[in-house]
Amino acid sequence: MSWMFLAGVYGWLGFTFGYYFRKWLERSWLPRVRAETARKRAAEEQVDWVDEDDRLLQVLPRREIRRRNLLHRVTATFVFHPDGRLFLQQRTMTKDVYPGLFDPCVGGTVASGETYARNAAREVREELGVGGAPLYLLFSHRFRDEATNSLIRVFACVTEGPFTLQAAEVAGGEWVDAAQVDEWIAKGRVCPDSAAGWRLYVGRFGSRRNFEREIAPGLEPVGRTGTDA
């Protein structure tokens, strides 16, 4: 009886240890491995170095664009809820630019040979799991700091979710109103390029207007998220 009891105890301990070890791998180790793999893959992605008129100068690996802080193409997409709120996401600590900061946009570096609209559509699908939402082009702007040097085209889409967050890119997120976005910017917790884009958005469209009901009807969709826009 004692041997049977001990065998049962050891079996239970082995099962329990295996279960919690697997959970630890899923929650801690595997996400880090996946994030590092994604980071290395992104570093080798081919990106267009462009001039101030958006003309191609040279195709280079993304890591070289980052290292030399060369001018390149970027997209930023505001994701609005039908009720007017904006999705604010937090970047993972493994991001090569602005790790851990909050972002009111889904951002993306445009790959060589890719259009701005196609990149925006792809990034929203990859980072949030949203497909089929109409995508609207809002405006373009130029941004540069010590971390990035970019020609940015700003888009917007509307969705209620639900979201499937890309673990390597997005640590979390929540729906917020315009006042909350401004609060986070004032605290210095928002990516500087997206903060600049948000100020331009507010300057053009205001912060009190519902995007789906009052702004989108006057715009022509340039594609849909998750498709070849």
The pLDDT value recorded for residue 38 is 45
Residue listed under structure tokens 């196609």: 118
Could you report the per-residue pLDDT of 77-136, keeping only the tens digit for each?
Answer: 999 999 999 999 999 999 999 999 999 999 999 999 999 999 999 999 999 999 999 999
pLDDT category at 226 given cuts 50, 70, 90 is confident
- Where are the alpha helices (H) located in the chain, listed in sequence order? 2-24, 30-43, 62-68, 116-128, 178-186, 192-205
Q: Using CA atoms, how far apart are residues 212 and 82, in angstroms rounded to an integer?
A: 6
Could you report the per-residue pLDDT of 129-176, keeping only the tens digit for each?
Answer: 999 999 999 999 999 999 999 999 999 999 999 999 999 999 999 999
pLDDT category at 190 given cuts 50, 70, 90 is very high
Does pLDDT of 36 surpass 60? no
Does pLDDT of 178 surpass 60? yes
Does pLDDT of 43 surpass 70? no
- The residue among 11 and 224 whose pLDDT is bigger is 224
Level-2 CATH architecture, domain 46-224: Alpha-Beta Complex (3.90)
In whole angstroms, how far apart are CA 88 and each of 56, 81, 188, 194? 32, 11, 14, 11
Quick one: average pLDDT of 182-201? 98
Q: What is the mean pLDDT of the chain?
A: 89
Return the amino acid letter for 110. Answer: V
Quick one: average pLDDT of 6-27? 61
Name the pTM for this structure.
0.82
The pLDDT value recorded for residue 44 is 77
Instruction: List the domain boundaries for the chain.
Output: 1-43, 46-224
The pLDDT value recorded for residue 227 is 74
The burial of 22, by beta-carbon neighbours within 10 Å (0-12 exposed, 13-18 middle, 19 or more buried), is given as exposed
